[in-house]
Amino acid sequence: MLSWPEPFVWRALFAAIGLAVIAAPLGCIVVWRRMSYVGETLAQAGLLGVALGLALHIDLTLAVVVAAIAAVGVLTLLGRQRVVPLDSALGLTHHATLALGITAIALAKGPGIDLMSYLFGDVFAVTSTDLIWVYAGGAVVLAVIFYLWEPLVRLSLHEDLATAEGINPRLPRAAFDLLLAIVIAVAMKIVGILLVMAFLVVPAVAARPLSRTPVGMVLLAAAIAVASTIFGLWLSLSSDLPGGPSIVIAMCTVAAISLLAGSRRQG
Amino acid sequence: MEKSFLSLSQQTGYGSPRPAASCDHDHSHDGAPVENALISARDLWLRRGGRDIIAGVNLDVLPGEIVTLIGPNGAGKTTLVRLVLGIEKPDSGRIIRPASTRIGYVPQRFEVDAAIPMTVEGFLALGGSASAKEIANTLDEVGARRTGHQQLSKLSGGETQRVLIARALLRRPNLLILDEPASGVDFAGEAELYELVGKLRDERHLGILLVSHDLHVVMAKSDRVICLNGHVCCSGEPEHVSQHSEYARIFGPKGASSLSVYRHHHDHAHDLTGEPKPLAPDDTHGRGS
């Protein structure tokens, strides 16, 4: 068995736990607003951001945030068109951003650039700087979410009702998209672009059947995510499996059990 | 409240001034808003996709008055409500809403997303200052007392509408705006809902703006009916509108006759327990006849 873990293990554990907690409220709102696919597209726009950052020699996290926000703008415009349904438009942008991102990375390719590390991340390669990003960025994200919580819940429930009751939908919506972009950028290094949204969505889905209130669902999602993180990292280290995917497998297992229990209770 | 659903429709209600029905062009609406109106709209226009959704619409709702907005699908009823609520902005025209007006809004087809866990009590407390006691009392008032601990997404159509009305009432409104409150509710439930609306008007002296797809049930209890088809086709007291040629043209002879069918084929009413009871003498006369 393992002896006292080495520093890289501690960094991986703290980064993934921090991410799990930050992702819980955002993930719940993503589920409530049916934005999973939107989130995927934002995450894949992150690849474009990485290419942009490499080409312009700017901080990659910042570049990913900028790219994700640009993707929000494109998606907002797509939401207004009436030529094809929104999910078709999302399917288009989803794949367009992925293909463009991979191509752009290939073009920007310099020594030591590994596409795989952006697609799949590496939780055991987390640096101290990454940890600072997770905890400083996470504190800001949680503070903003806390401040905007009530309008976000009311808008998720019924946008017209909330608007008629005096909530301006634009500010909470824009702020939420920005937060989502930040979390995706921070999480990308840890779990990779392809699994970022799993960190947000899967614990929320797992928590839903067992929750009675919005806040209860967030707390449960965070608890499930943290437990899955610890178990997933242990699994990864003891069986020599990739870290991020092991965590996501643990989360998905909890979600499957929870959904089964939920549907049994209903039926 | 011993008044039946039917008899409510026959009450004269409060003595709010009712503009005489006018079915050609309603010039009485042009210019200044009606005094003491809870909300007024003047010459509203909204164009979308090269089509006039709302074309020169005027509207007033006075305290204690039930104004029913009817019209075929796509007539712009919900759009007009959204303009009145300020959710959408008109291309031109004015909404005059005195500072004293507090609106309670009951949206159409509130399908609570099962993705969001929310108890009825939690929903009613959300974003407001209502105490648990106020919430319980209001649920009682709308006849949804037992729903408090239930999940919002598990309610029936009628229960959902009552809970939404309770939420609107907790804002202490003097104007209640209901967009097709009876959609997704069966006929008996629909009658009960309209009875509740009438009761709220009577007990709380609310002005009520009601959007309805169902002509005969609503029209009988309204003080004023506005028939919308982009523009206001005609407006006035229920009987008057139902006999208007423009109304008959839009809804067809069947729709036009349904009001009279409803009224004249009932020789009894139901009390709140659902037991039949004879009509009170004054129930046999249409209001104003």
* Domain boundaries of chain A, sorted by first residue: 7-199
For the segment A10-33, what is each residue's pLDDT rounded down to a tens digit? 999 999 999 999 999 999 999 999
Task: Give the best residue of B118, B161, B169 to mutate against chain A (max A CB count within 10 A).
Answer: B118
Q: What is the CATH number of domain A7-199?
A: 1.10.3470.10
Q: Is A108 helix (H, G, I), strand (E, B) or coil?
A: coil
Closest chain B residue by Cα to residue A206: B115
Q: What is the pLDDT of residue A118?
A: 83
Closest chain A residue by Cα to residue B178: A161
> SS3 for chain B, per residue?
CCCCHHHHHHCCCCCCCCCCCECCCCHHHCCCCCCCCCEEEEEEEEEECCEEEEEEEEEEECCCCEEEEECCCCCCHHHHHHHHHCCCCCCEEEEECCCCCCEEEECCCCCCCCCCCCEHHHHHHCCCCCCHHHHHHHHHHCCCHHHCCCEHHHCCHHHHHHHHHHHHHHCCCCEEEEECCCCCCCHHHHHHHHHHHHHHHHHHCCEEEEEECCHHHHHHHCCEEEEEECEEEEEECHHHHHCCHHHHHHHHHHHHHHHHHHHHCCCEEECCCCCEEECCHHHHCCCCC
Q: What is the pLDDT of residue B214?
A: 67
Q: How many CB atoms lie within 10 A of CB A5?
A: 13
Q: For the CA atoms of A20, A28, A174, A126, what is the dihedral angle to 10 degrees?
A: 10
Confidence band, pLDDT 50/70/90 cuts, at residue A6: confident
Kindly determine whether residue B107 and residue A160, on different chains, have CB atoms separated by under 8 Å: yes
Minimal CA separation from A135 to chain B, in Å: 28
Nearest by CB to residue B126, choosing from A153, A163, A164, is: A153
Is residue A71 classed exposed, middle or buried when 0-12, 13-18 and 19+ CB atoms within 10 A define those classes?
Answer: buried
The overall average pLDDT reported for chain A is 89
Closest chain A residue by Cα to residue B83: A164
- Residue B94 lies in domain: 5-12+24-111+176-283
Q: What is the pLDDT of residue B245?
A: 66
Nearest by CB to residue A217, choosing from B107, B117, B123, is: B117
For the segment A253-267, what is each residue's pLDDT rounded down to a tens digit? 999 999 999 888 765
Confidence band, pLDDT 50/70/90 cuts, at residue A241: very high
Q: Is residue B170, in this structure, part of any structural domain at all?
A: no
For the segment A106-158, what is each residue's pLDDT rounded down to a tens digit? 887 666 667 788 888 889 989 998 899 899 999 999 999 999 999 999 999 99
A160 at interface of B, judged by CB pairs closer than 8 A? yes
Q: Which residues pair with A47 in a beta bridge?
A: none
A30-46 average pLDDT score:
89
Residue B209 CA to chain centroid, in angstroms?
Answer: 4
Which residues of chain A lie closer than 8 angstroms to B105, CB-CB? 161, 164-165
Kindly determine whether residue A214 and residue B113, on different chains, have CB atoms separated by under 8 Å: no
Minimal CA separation from A200 to chain B, in Å: 14
Residue B35 sits in a domain whose CATH number is 3.40.50.300
Q: What is the pLDDT of residue B275?
A: 53
Q: What is the pLDDT of residue B6?
A: 33
Q: What is the pLDDT of residue B35?
A: 79
Q: What is the pLDDT of residue A110?
A: 65
Kindly determine whether residue B113 and residue A157, on different chains, have CB atoms separated by under 8 Å: yes
Task: Give the best residue of A148, A165, A208, A215 to mutate against chain B (max B CB count within 10 A).
Answer: A165
Q: Is residue B89, in this structure, part of any structural domain at all?
A: yes
Question: Which value does ipTM take for this structure?
Answer: 0.85
Regions in chain B scoring below 70 on pLDDT: 1-33, 214-220, 239, 242-289
Kindly determine whether residue B117 and residue A216, on different chains, have CB atoms separated by under 8 Å: yes
Q: What is the pLDDT of residue A116?
A: 81
The span from the CA of A215 to the CA of A231, in Å, is 24
With beta carbons less than 8 A apart as the criterion, state whether A252 and A260 touch. Answer: no
Q: Is residue B99, in this structure, part of any structural domain at all?
A: yes
A242-246 average pLDDT score:
91
Domains identified in chain B, total number:
1
B112 at interface of A, judged by CB pairs closer than 8 A? yes
